[in-house]
Amino acid sequence: MTIHDDQQLLPKDGAGDVNRADVERLDLNTELVTVNMGPQHPATHGVLRLVLTLDGEVVVSAQPQVGYLHRGIEKIAETLTLHQAIPYTDRMDYLSPISNNIGLAGAVEKLIQFQVTEKCRVMRVVCCEMARISSHILWLATTALDIGAATVYFYAFTEREKYYDLFEKMTGARFTVSYGRIGGLARDWEPGLAEEILRVVRETPKAIKECENLLSRNRIWIERNQDVGPISADDAIDLGLSGPNLRASGVEWDIRKAYPYFGYDHYDFEIPVGEHGDCYDRYLVRMEEIRQSVKIIEQALKEYDPSLPLFPQDEQSRKIFLPPKERVLTKMEELIHQFIVATEGPKTPLGKEIYFAIEAPKGELGFYLVGSGTNVAHRCHFRSPSFVSLQGLPIMVKGQMIADVIATVASLDPVLGEVDR
């Protein structure tokens, strides 16, 4: 689907290009300056260092330096049992931890060939889409703040807070939720939570519209974003961009459609696609994705039946997942299962390898797992979307103004916890 509504856009008069044209026309005698932007810079969304070579205010080259937040999560995950590895994924993309957890759980299930229940599948879809909405809302807030639109920041954070309240009710934690479990989810939803999610989700498009009213036709917003940090579809594919950044360049590609996981093919939703691959299109794509996520959640919650079991009931499956805590503490059988699963856990097939990708809010989050014959993965590699999309930054900002670097970094939505792992 297309994201541009021609009525919405102001006619362009080239007012934003005056500076660039001046630089070229006057042919000023300038010399190159190298500037470090970051690692402690509020607009780099974490510890990202950009080494910029500048000609006046024009960027000649940009070199991102990453690794300040490297914690060796892959190495740690290869020494722990697969259940123990789940909390570490929270710390990768810490703005949508729930989709990381569930992604790893889905990858392990693919490796050990395990089927989750219908109810679990529906709950996972709802969780992943809620993570997408809250992540995109946070992106909108911080990007608007970087560009100078402080009001949007407060509107958006008010809305995001509602989602974090829901996550808290669902998981007991606001940020590092660790909610995904191999074979299921950590716990069932409280009675009435599904209705509450539906109520909050239905209010979201209205709140988004308020922010859009402040931005989409705002002259400053348009001039700070349109034709800033552009990347063509060919370059975006070549550089491996994924998620909204790839779609903004006009490539209709979404893991949810291409390799449907968790039954995404049951749901009716569209992929928003941009045209120019600039910051403004990336903004429009994300806004439309929020509305599509709302559509998916509404459809998924219709299928949600609280009376169904969260975990499979057969004896063989019980050796895979950790039983719910309240049953562990009250039933002898479940205590034994808990002990067996925690100490032995699911056995991964030796030498077998899988790649499982989900459409995380930032793009394609991939898990490459190799089985070891024990309950520890022999190899656990995370393909993080932010790491790959940062690589495209030098091409996007080349020849742009230094202020546009801020807008472009923000529009790529990198999370440094995920870049450095």
Residues of this chain that bind other proteins (CB under 8 A): 66-67, 70, 72, 74-76, 78-79, 110-111, 113, 237-240, 251, 253, 258-259, 352-355, 357, 364, 366, 368, 370, 378-379, 381, 383, 387-388, 390-391, 420-421
Minimum Å gap between C-beta 131 and other proteins is 21
Rank residues 146 and 364 by Cβ distance to other proteins and give the closer one.
364
Minimum Å gap between C-beta 151 and other proteins is 37
Rank residues 200 and 239 by Cβ distance to other proteins and give the closer one.
239
Minimum Å gap between C-beta 354 and other proteins is 5
Rank residues 73 and 127 by Cβ distance to other proteins and give the closer one.
73
Kindly report the three-state secondary structure assignment for every residue of 82-150: HHHHHHHHHCCCCCCHHHHHHHHHHHHHHHHCCCCCHHHHHHHHHHHHHHHHHHHHHHHHHHHHHHCCH
| Gap between the Cα atoms of 168 and 190, Å rounded | 12
| Gap between the Cα atoms of 62 and 107, Å rounded | 35
Q: Which ranges constitute the DSSP H helices of 148-278?
A: 150-171, 193-215, 219-225, 233-238, 244-248, 255-258
Residue pair 363/385 in contact (Cβ under 8 Å)? The answer is yes
Token pair, residue 198, equals 């539906």
Rank residues 79 and 151 by Cβ distance to other proteins and give the closer one.
79
3 state SS of 73: helix
Rank residues 62 and 186 by Cβ distance to other proteins and give the closer one.
62
What amino acid is encoded at 343 in this protein? T
Are β-strands 49-55 and 363-370 bridged in parallel, bridged antiparallel, or unpaired?
Answer: unpaired
Spatial strand order of the sheet with 58-65 comes to 32-37, 49-55, 58-65
Minimum Å gap between C-beta 78 and other proteins is 8
Minimum Å gap between C-beta 24 and other proteins is 28
Token pair, residue 250, equals 């006009």
Rank residues 218 and 242 by Cβ distance to other proteins and give the closer one.
242
Max CA distance (Å), the chain: 83
Token pair, residue 81, equals 């049992």
Minimum Å gap between C-beta 353 and other proteins is 7
Minimum Å gap between C-beta 240 and other proteins is 3
From residue 321, how far is each of 112, 374, 376 by CA, in Å? 12, 15, 15
Rank residues 216 and 375 by Cβ distance to other proteins and give the closer one.
375
Minimum Å gap between C-beta 100 and other proteins is 16
Phi, psi of 381 (to 5 degrees): -110, 135
Rank residues 66 and 200 by Cβ distance to other proteins and give the closer one.
66
